[in-house]
Amino acid sequence: MEPILEIKNLCIDFQTNGGAIRACDNVTIDFYRGDIIGIIGESGSGKSTLAAGILKTIREPGKISSGEILYHTKSGEVINLLSLSEKEYSKYRWCNITTVFQAAQNVLNPTLKIKDHFIETAFAHNEDNKYTKKKILDKAALLLSQVRLEERVLDCYPYQLSGGMKQRTVIALSLLLEPDFLILDEPTTALDVITQWYIIDILRKVHKETGITMIFLTHDVSIIGSVVDRIGVMYCGQVVEYGNVMDVFKKPAHPYTFGLMNAIPSLRDDITTRKAIPGYPPNLLNLPKGCRFGPRCFLCEEGRCKAENITVDKMIDIGEGQLTLCPAWKKVKEKCL
């Protein structure tokens, strides 16, 4: 498995009136080429900040304080994205790295027809003049058919399309320049179940045909199960677990993951086994000492988990590519049977 993106010790801070908030704390994670990766996190987990960090869209009062993001291109080069200037980075944006935001409807320019969106995007990256209008429109029609939209959509304005149609258009737009990897931030949150199914289906088909690497950021655990190969779980700015989806789902190695999997009602499981995670996520300005999940954790132990200097900021490799932040991971696995 070759890596495509290696994130090492990424720290992103925000200055607020009440102090500095570390939205991403020493995030270290490796994404492999051709994978579909899901990052689960609730509000305050830092996953959107992580995406913004990769895309270099962090603005004041946010700041990337330290860390590296190593991007391995197809040709084998290794580039540290954080060391690039804005201009250098923009060469990669959209050609290699693209993104689909949450509520994509706000991304489309209401005064431009859809076909103009495609043309404008292509021409913005047209240094070698390899794109002509005809080529772009042909490609656009092909992409739209892949996302199950008719060609007539090209002549529409955004307001004429429904929410689901706009989301699919944005996905087509992101694939225009055949990027290396795609970051999707809550791509289906505002949509209903049937549209969501189609979008996941489209993404699976695209992945099958092109082998593009996809990173899904979501709080919806069920999407994870149905589509991804590997998942990462974030809590309060830290990655608490990362590994193969089958392992993490069936035999989680962190109490938070365990709690999360059991707190989501689905259509087929036994509802009496559902249990909420007690307590509330902590205020990022006032984090608990030691392990951040401690106050809500069923395995929390005075000495081990609350001490100031516990090494809960480096992940433990427990084999088969599964990484966890919890020193008591064995006990969590036992609970899963």
Q: Which residues bind other proteins (CB under 8 A)?
A: 17-18, 42-43, 148, 162-165, 192-198, 200, 219-227, 245-246, 249-250, 259-261, 263-269, 271, 274-278, 280-281
Q: 169: closest CA among 195, 131, 133?
A: 195
What six digits make up the tokens of 195? Answer: 């549209």
Q: How far is the CB of 150 from other proteins (least distance, A)?
A: 10
When the beta carbons of 69 and 277 are compared against other proteins, the nearer one is 277
Instruction: Identify which of residues 16 and 66 has a Cβ nearer to other proteins in the complex.
Output: 16
Amino acid making up residue 173? L
Residue that has been written with the tokens 């992940």 in this structure: 315
Burial string for 196-219 (b: 16+ CB within 10 Å, else e) reads bebbbebbeebbeeeebbbbbbbb
User: Of 119 and 143, which CB lies nearer to other proteins in the complex structure?
Assistant: 143
Looking at the Cβ atoms of 89 and 157, the one nearer to other proteins is 157
* Alpha carbons 212 and 74: distance in angstroms, whole number: 11
- For residue 26, the minimal CB distance to other proteins (Å) is 23
The Cα 102–Cα 112 span in angstroms is: 20
> Cβ closer to other proteins: 7 or 245?
245
In the complex, minimum distance from the CB of residue 39 to other proteins, in angstroms, rounded to a whole number? 14
Structure tokens of 50? 């992580």
Residue 295: Cβ-neighbour burial (10 angstroms; 0-12, 13-18, 19+): middle
Tell the smallest beta-carbon distance from residue 308 to other proteins (Å). 26
The structure tokens 């027809």 sit at 113
CB of 284 to other proteins, least distance (A): 12
CA angle 242–244–248, rounded 5-degree value: 65
Least Å distance, CB 277 to other proteins, is 4
Nearest distance from C-beta of residue 201 to other proteins, angstroms: 8
Q: In angstroms, what is the minimal distance from the CB of 76 to other proteins?
A: 32
**Cβ 196 vs Cβ 188: under 8 Å:** yes
Instruction: Identify which of residues 97 and 260 has a Cβ nearer to other proteins in the complex.
Output: 260
Task: Using the minimum distance from each CB to other proteins, give the nearer residue, 76 or 265.
Answer: 265
Judged by beta carbon, residue 281 or residue 288, the one nearer other proteins is 281
